[in-house]
């Protein structure tokens, strides 16, 4: 597998991680809302939500790093006359 091909595979995995974290955050947001609506303590649910948001930021940062690496790895194409 070439370096470029491997980086594209890493990008696909990073995209999947971002999508998964976004789904987890959506689900946890519902849990926080339902817990609050029942008048229960939401501190643990909110703590989990914050942790998931941190993981999403990390996943997005990793994805951006891969994109920067790919941008450097792609040779510039000469301009057509």
Can you give the pLDDT at residue 47?
99
Instruction: Tell me if residue 48 falls in helix, strand or coil.
Output: helix
Domain extents in the chain: 3-72
CB atoms within 10 A of CB 52: 19
Average pLDDT of 20-49? 99
Q: Is residue 77 over pLDDT 70?
A: no
pTM exceeds cut of 0.85: no
Distance CA 3, CA 16 (A): 20
Q: Is residue 81 over pLDDT 70?
A: no
Give the tens place of pLDDT for each residue, 38-59: 999 999 999 999 999 999 999 9
């Amino acid at each position: 597998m070439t370096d470029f091909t491997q980086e594209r595979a890493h990008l696909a995995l990073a995209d999947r991680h971002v999508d998964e974290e976004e789904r987890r955050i959506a689900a946890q947001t519902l849990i926080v809302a339902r817990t609050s609506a029942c008048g229960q303590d939401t501190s643990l649910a909110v703590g989990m939500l914050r942790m998931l948001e941190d993981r999403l930021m990390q996943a997005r940062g990793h994805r951006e790093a891969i994109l920067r690496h790919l941008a450097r790895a792609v040779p510039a194409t000469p301009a057509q006359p």
